[in-house]
Every structure is written in C-alpha cells, then in structure tokens.
Chain A
Amino acid sequence: MKDVLRTLQEARPAELAPDVPADEGVRRAELTRAMAAEHGRAEDGRIGRGRRVRPVWGLGLAGAVAAGAVAAAAVITTGGDGTEPHRGGAPTVALDARTVLLTAADRADRQPETMRAYWHQVTVSSDTYMMGSDGDRYAIAVRSRSESWTPSRPGGKAWGAQQDLGARPATKADAQAWRRAGSPAAFKVEVPVAPGAPGRLKGFTAKTAPGPRELSGSPLVDGDKVFWLGRNVTMKDLRSLPSDPARLKAGLLRWYEGHGTESDAPMASDEWLYTVARGLVMDMPVKPEVRAAGFRMLAGLPAVKSLGKATDPEGRTGNAIAVDEKTPVGVIRHEMIIDLASGTALAGQNIMVAPAAGAQLPAGRTMNSTVTLSTEWTDAKPR
C-alpha cells in the first residue's frame, strides 16, 4: 500500500461527502432549533441566558392541583362548548412536534431559578357552554382568574385567590345569536356531575358581570402534598424528580394504572403520560432541567403531533402540539401552546374534534382553556 492517506481518502463513505445536501425537514428543524435562542453579542462566550424575564408555565389540567386551596373546577366536558380554535394564519409549514418539544426543552434547560417561600401562579381559565334554544344556539365562555401560592416548605398553608371574570359570547357569531336572544346578562348553566355521567346535572348561574375576588388559605393535603403527578406529591418529591427523560418517564409510569387521570375510563399509557407531563411542564415548580426532561419525554411520544403556529386565548403566539383522546363524548384534542423562545407553555386547551353521536358539542369548539399569565417563586405574602 503506497499512500495510505490517499487510500483512506478514497475509502471515505459516500454519505460523508461534504456536498450531500441535508434533508429539507432536517434543515428547517435544525435552523429553527438553533435560532430559537437569543444570540450574538456575548463576546465572553457566556450563554445569553434568562435575559427575557418571563417565567410562564401554563396551568390547565384539572387535577394538577391536589385538592387544597384552589378548587380546580375545570369541568372537562359534556355540557360545554366553545370558542373557535384560534389559529394564527401564516401558511408556513408546521414544525414537527419533536422539533417543537426539543426546542422548548433546550430553552427550559437554561432558565435560571431561585426557590423562594411560594410558587406563585396566575392563570385565566375559560369554560364554554351552549345556550339558547334549538333554533338559535350560541356558546358562552365563562372565564375566571385564579392565583395560587404553593408553599415551598411542608406544614404551611396553600393560598388561592379566585375571581369570576364574567361570561361572554364565545365568538362574533355567538355574539350575534346572543343579541337576537335579547342580550341576557345571566345564563343558567347545567353540567353533568361527572364527565360523561348520564342523567344527573348540577346547575349554576353565570353572569356577564365580573364577581368579587376571594382569597382563602387552607392546610396542605396530608400536611405536605402540593401537586398531583399521577399521585399526590410533596414539594420534595417534585424537586427530586430525575432530569433524565427515560428515568422521568419510568418514574411517572409507575403510577399508571391503565385508566385516565380524571376518571376510571381506560386510557392508553402515552395519553396518560401526556396528560401528566403536560401538568408537569405547565404548572409545577420542578427544576428547570426536569421541566426540560418533561419536554424531551413528550418529544418521544408517538401520539404527540404538531399543529403548527397557534395563538393562545390571550392572543400570544406559539407553537401548538396535541394528543387526541377518544372519550365517551367524542374525540377531544388536548393542546398545549408553547413559546419556543422561552421554552414555556403558554396555555392548554381542549378542543372537541369529533363529537360522539348525541353529544352537545359541535366539532371544532374549544371546550375549555387555561392560560398561564405568570409563574414565579416569590417571598411576597399571599394577598
């Protein structure tokens, strides 16, 4: 062998040639992922981290808060009906779900964090209900603002502040029907006692006028449980979750028993994981690297799909991902809207995509949504 370097050159596998073009999908994903970060001016080589101070994880999942002060009364389902899905309209190609989630993970990973006395969240939730008579039905959105303070130490009290923001027609078309109905300022709403439960209804009256804000505190469940993550967990449990996606997944799945998070109806493990992990990344005071692991774990679930750019109910844009769940009332799409620049979940919403026979909800309606306005550690007392 005369010139071994030349032979080595000739032996280079064809796929390693520099002029093989990258796959267009890969190209788009990699460019997006790279440029989601802030960049540029740092000469010292430090990563430009946390310049944007916007700690925001969504809320959204009924049952995320383990009982306690905030009675998370997000009624998932049957009586409701809702606003049109808000889709930002740019005709760009959607990023795949994996890219969206891995990008979010990269960003979440770099968020700075200092634990303080309380984990403080501000959210706005909306539930939609069908009103009117058969000939002229319309949907109203009943909105409420919630604040919660979860103590970082056991033995303390959890605090919550609730305020009804009032009911209003869900869309412009709904507003027209509402006016035809005489612009009522109060609505009698009836919902099933439990999701999908036939027969028994419970009713309440929703008003267009906002209600008073009410602050209340109560001891933690069992003295130390703060959230629900397939089971009730303590702050210590949350803070010691693994930052490795595979270990996180295995740890969560230990609590999966083959049924859903809100009922005993059967649920596939991927859907269950999605539901639980959505709560983890949106609501819970886990370490930044664990939140990143949550996103990475979600990126590995085949059931998760991308919906492209979307606008949350507060008008903020992000990228939406979703999992569809088949329920007795129809196929429900569980969406999460993610801000790629900060690696935070802006909002969660559940959309009726294919109503079952006899269901009250038409397809395409937002059943309910929860928008996270802010999350942060704070030493400020609940008030």
Chain B
Amino acid sequence: MADEGPDEQRFTAMYDECRQRVWAYATARAGRQVADEVVSETFAVAWRRLADVPDPPLPWLLGVARNVLRDGHRAQVRRESFAAELGRWAPRPATDIAEDVAERLAVLRAMAALPEGDREILILIAWQGLTPRDAAKVVGCSPAALRVRLHRARRRLLRAAEAETPDGQAEGARGTRPQVGIVSEEMS
C-alpha cells in the first residue's frame, strides 16, 4: 500500500492493530467459514465510515462485525459453524489426560451448549479480554446490564462444564451423547 494519504495510513494502522481480533471474534462466533467474509465486510464499512470510527476502534469494529454476522448469517448457520469449529478445537480425548486439560476441553464443549447470547458475552470478556464497559459498547447495552448478563452466562457455563467433566457426568452417558457438531439441544 504505497502512496498513502493520512486516511489510508490511519486505516491501515487500525487494520493492523485490530484485524486479527475481529477475525478471532467472528471465528469464535460463527466459525472460520464465515470469518473472512465478516472481516472483509467489517473493514469495508470502517473505511466508508472512517470519520465515525472512535479511538480506540476495537469495540466499534467488533460491534460492526456483530451486526454483519447478525444480518448476513442465520442463527442456525452460525450455530452449526460454531459447533463444527469446536469439533476441531476440542476433540474428545481418547484416554486419560491431565485434569486441567480435561477441564479446558470440558469448558470448550460447554460453550456449544450455551445460548448464543451467553456465548457472545463470554467470548468478548474471556477471549477478547474486553472490559465489561467495552463489551457493553459492542453489544449495545449498559455496562450494568452487561455485568448481569455476564454473571448469568458464567453460571450457565459452569453448570454445562460440570456436566461435561467425567466426574460430573451421568453414568454411562459417554458414547451415547451426541458429538459436538451434532449437538441437538435448542439454542436461542
């Protein structure tokens, strides 16, 4: 990108700073199949509306990506792509593994069982490292409302994760439970 004006420089710097985070957000939400497309559209919007982009730009960009995801990809598709992604991240271990590894896998799989709204908050806080204030900007609610939603999401995650860990699991459940990727529970 040679011959750049100040707008081009600002935009490129913003892209370099945030691109991977926007991609990670979209991938975590809906899988890599759609992530590139979401990133592309998000930065196209950012360029067109460069004058509106605040500093720091990340919460704004994630908010745009969120809208792109919502408008362009049906909930059903998002859910299925996420589940497919999770199948790669959290394969079911064949044999005994260390406890902390087992816990991480259980938490990952538990994510698939959560309502999309919960998952979204958890991704913003735990994976994007946003403050509740910034996360609230992304989803368009007040920081107080976000804290309430985070509290609930966390509680549901814990419950789902405990159901996933071997000692929290009902007897004989393994083997008949659907694999991640074909999770059949209804998620809003």
Contact = CB atoms under 8 A, between A and B. Distances in A.
Interface in B1-25: 1-2, 7-8, 11-12, 15-16, 19-21, 23-24
A230 B48 CA distance: 37
A296 to B, nearest CB: 11
B28 interface: yes
A45 B52 contact: yes
B168 to A, nearest CB: 9
Interface in B27-74: 27-28, 36, 39-40, 43-44, 46-52
B11 A34 contact: yes
B7 A40 contact: yes
Interface stretch (B76-84, B100-108, B134-142, B171-179): B100-108
B187 interface: no
A: contact size bracket: 35 or more
B73 to A, nearest CB: 15
A4 B154 contact: yes
A5 B50 contact: no
Contacts, number: 118
Contacts of B40: 30, 33-34, 102
B126 interface: yes
B44 A43 contact: no
A54 B30 CA distance: 38
Given A12-B127, A22-B20, A1 B103 contact: yes
A218 to B, nearest CB: 44
21 contacts: A1-B158, A1-B161, A4-B154, A4-B157, A5-B126, A7-B104, A10-B100, A11-B107, A15-B24, A16-B27, A18-B128, A33-B43, A37-B44, A39-B7, A40-B48, A41-B51, A42-B51, A42-B52, A45-B52, A48-B48, A106-B44
A9 B157 contact: no
B52 A38 contact: no
Interface in A229-243: none
Contacts of A102: 40
A316 interface: no
Nearest to A4: B158
Contacts of B12: 31
B20 A11 contact: no
Q: Is the interface of B mostly helix, strand, loop or mixed?
A: helix
A246 interface: no
Interface string A14-26: 0111111110001
Interface residues of B, number: 49
Contact of B48 (A12, A32, A42): A42
A42 B52 CA distance: 8
A28 B1 contact: yes
Given A7-B103, A8-B107, A18-B129, 7 more contacts: A4-B158, A7-B100, A11-B108, A16-B127, A22-B19, A37-B48, A40-B47
A106 B89 CA distance: 33
Contacts of B20: 17-22
Nearest to A16: B24
Contact of A39 (B16, B49, B158, B162): B49
A26 B39 CA distance: 11
Nearest to B42: A34
